[in-house]
Structures are given as structure tokens and as C-alpha cells.
Structure 1
């Protein structure tokens, strides 16, 4: 197999576009990197093509049969990587077109204006670990296909449907489906221990600094807070979500 050498090649330019939100939106594709995440993408049947450095991952050249594989130079690896130390293996993936059925997807996490890519990825990963059925990204929330989000999620966005949508509309749908909707807030809220675990629920967490939109808080069935016993003023949003999700869901 010939090796693609120059970072000025047209294919490389197309791959580089996928590192931008505009490029991802226009193409309906995004790029992932690293052995673990590429393998998760292959298992999820989301991969369109794989690019790898032969000198680093020669053993993969003959292992991947389901999609095209391109051998790339270290120069190209650096050009299409979003990290300082590329692992030398990448995949172009198709964006999700997930739809959920509220008759089956009964445990949901909704994000209201969460912006930090690391937090978004960790929230998706935490929802996956807690057995949550879907994650809804509300308006003002960052891009799920941002490379930092992908790295933080560690492949969990391939396991859990992640959709974007208008949260007030989703709240109406959830209530109509008989799914209780909980907000998270520090004021005018109940201690989370006052609510028992259930087979179905939707939890909304808000922006790192401002919290949830007050208008959305008014539409929930109940708002919950986590008591703080030390001197810290707040919890990281992903940590708070983890506590609440594991409390709200029934143990298997």
C-alpha cells in the first residue's frame, strides 16, 4: 500500500476541515483519533475510512477489512491531529442520526448550556456508565463532535444516543410520556435524597457558571440540589450529574 506523504494533498485538506464545526456540519462527518476510540467507532459501524501511520500501527493494516485504510506519513498525522502527541491512527466517522422512542428510552440526561468540552464528554461518559438511555444537548450546549468532547467521552458517544434539541419542547414530550423531569439548582429545590430511584426519569443539568435557565427550571416537575458539607461553593457539573444519575436510577 502506498503511503500518502504530503499534508498539502486534497484528501488531507478535507480531513482537516473535519476539525472545524463548520466542516463537520457541511459534510455530516467528523474525525476521531487514538486506538481505543477508533476501535469503538469500528464496533459501532460508524467508520467511513481509517488513516494510520504504518511505522506505528503496521499490525492494523491487515486487521481492518470493513472500511478503506490509508497509510499516512507522520507529517499528515500531525496535520490532522487535535493533540500535541498524535497516536498515529484516525478514523472519519458519520455523524449520528439517532432517534429515540420514549416508550423505550425512559432514562435521560439533558444538558442546558453546558459549554466546556471536557465536561460535555465526561457527562456523556457518565451517562453511559450509569445506564442512561439518551443524552439531549440543549441550545447553548457545545458541539458533541468537538475533538475534546470526543476524547473526554472515550467512545461513550457510540454507546448512547446523543441528540440536539429545544429543551422546552423535550420537556413537554417527556411529561406527555409520563417521565418525571428533574432540574438541578441550589435555590428553591429539594435535597436529592428526598426523591427515590425510579425506572424512568429525566435529569437536566445547567451551565457551569450560570446554572440552568430559570425559565426551564419553572417547567420541571421538581428541582433537586446536592448539599455541600465543606467550604466549596459548588460541584463540577459532571460530578453533580454523576451523583444524581446514580441516585435516581434503580439498581439492576
Structure 2
């Protein structure tokens, strides 16, 4: 059992709270029974399981490398308010190409809760992939991971320069939809193409103008009440379900 927060292994775990270290090691830390089960069920590489003393370990975990730690050590590495006493170091997956007919492009979304919710909704809506553009909050941020509720392990997620990937998607037959207010058509008045990639922008600034200029269609969601705007994750849900439902009719 590891009992000291000064232990070198514990220090290495703690460093995974920083994006640079996650990138360098190509690993990230998840907490809780549900996320760990989802990672296992989706065949992600589980490098190590960390269990707090006195906490029950699921039987399937016995096939993996397990480290028991004291209460103070687990509290030291935990980023949740009410930790369940179980965590794991997960290996990142390297994905090459988007496949399928429905893709979501994320342009500089900053709020981890928004990004996590969008990924979860994309999974629920049956989208084939999510592409995170430059300036977007780190996918492996603890708050993002928790907000996905495990969907991070279900749907392919890529990190790419959107201005470079959009021409590639067009060449592959995708119609690019960018969300904006100026020069936009109401989303439900736009016909759905066989392949659609929807671009969602920063919470305050919206989609980058250069990316809007690359779009085939500019769409908006009507506001019937007095709210100034919709939360970006809500807008994402409306547009993704419209694209999927229209495709299935």
C-alpha cells in the first residue's frame, strides 16, 4: 500500500491533472466505478487501477495492475468532491480518419461542461465522430470526462485543425453546416444532405469567420422567447437530432 503523497508514483499520477503531462505520457486519469467500467467495456487500454484502502474492488479488475493507496493519497490525486475510492490510468487512443455520415466539428469551445455534454449528446444522437479544433478545451480535462458520462469511450473523437480538415471532409462528400446569426437560414428549412458535418463555435465569439467562409450552409436556431441565445450544448443537440431524424425519414 502506498501511504505517502511524496511517493514518486503518486507524484506521477498527480501530474496527470495537467494537460502537458497527459500529452507527454499519452495517458489520463478517470475516477469512479461507472467511467472505469465504460473504459473496460469499450476496450480502452487500462494501464493501472488505483483503489483506496477499504473500498470494494470489482472482480473483473483483478486482471489488471492494481495499486492500493491510503485515504490521504487518494484524496490527494482525486479531483471530485465525493470520490468513490477507485480510479484508473487510461491510455489514449490514436485515431486516423473520420468514418460515417454525421460528424460534429468543435471550434474553440472553452467550457469543459459544455464540451462533455456535447460529446454525450453526439453519442446519444448516433453521430459517427467529433472533431475538436484548435483552441478547444482539452478532451481529457477531468470535468470534460465526467460530463461525458462515459461517452468519451464510445464515440471517435479527433483533435485537428478545422480549416485543414474541412476541405478533406468536402472531398469525402460532406456538406459543411456552420452555425451563425448573420446570413443564416433556419435549420429546419435546410434540406439534409447524405453526409453532414455541423460546426459549433465558441460560447461567446461563435464560429470563426474563416471557418464560416468554408461552410456550404449557414444555419441558425430560432429564438421564440426573450432569451438572448441558446447554450451551445443545447444548440448542438437540436441540430444533431434534426440531422439524424431527417436522414432516417
- Shared fold (TM-score, shorter chain, > 0.5): yes
Q: Give the TM-score, by structure 2 length.
A: 0.95
Q: Give CA-to-partner distance per residue, 1:183-212, whole Å, 9 cap, x none.
A: 001111000011234542100000000101
Q: Distance in 2 between matches of 1:100 and 1:161?
A: 9
Q: Distance in 2 between matches of 1:215 and 1:172?
A: 13
Secondary structure in 1 aligned to 2:60?
coil
Deviation of 1:70 after TM superposition, in Å, equals 1.2
Q: Distance in 2 between matches of 1:244 and 1:117?
A: 20
Q: Give the TM-score, by structure 1 length.
A: 0.94
Q: Distance in 2 between matches of 1:171 and 1:50?
A: 39
Label 1:199 to 1:67 Cα distance change in 2 as closer, same or farther (>3 A).
farther
Q: Distance in 1 between matches of 2:227 and 2:190?
A: 24
Contact 1:108 1:135 in 2 (8 A): yes
Contact 1:196 1:247 in 2 (8 A): no
Deviation of 1:168 after TM superposition, in Å, equals 1.1
Deviation of 1:44 after TM superposition, in Å, equals 2.1
Q: Distance in 2 between matches of 1:117 and 1:139?
A: 15
Which residue, out of 188, 209, 219, partners 2:204?
209
Which residue in 2 is equivalent to 1:196? 191
Secondary structure in 1 aligned to 2:236?
helix
Alignment coverage as a number of residue pairs: 246
Cα RMSD after superposing both structures? 1.3
Residue 165 (structure 1) aligned with residue 153 (structure 2): no
Q: Structure 1: which 4+ aligned runs deviate by more than 6 Å?
A: none
Deviation of 1:151 after TM superposition, in Å, equals 0.5
Which residue, out of 237, 240, 246, partners 2:235?
240
Label 1:10 to 1:185 Cα distance change in 2 as closer, same or farther (>3 A).
same
Residue 35 (structure 1) aligned with residue 33 (structure 2): yes
Which residue in 1 is equivalent to 2:134? 139
Q: Give CA-to-partner distance per residue, 1:138-161, whole Å, 9 cap, x none.
A: 011110000000000111111111
Give matches, 1:1-252, under 5 Å.
3-46=1-44, 47-57=46-56, 59-60=57-58, 62-101=59-98, 104-249=99-244, 250-251=247-248
Mark the runs of 5 or more structure 2 residues left unpaired by the alignment: none
Secondary structure in 1 aligned to 2:248?
coil
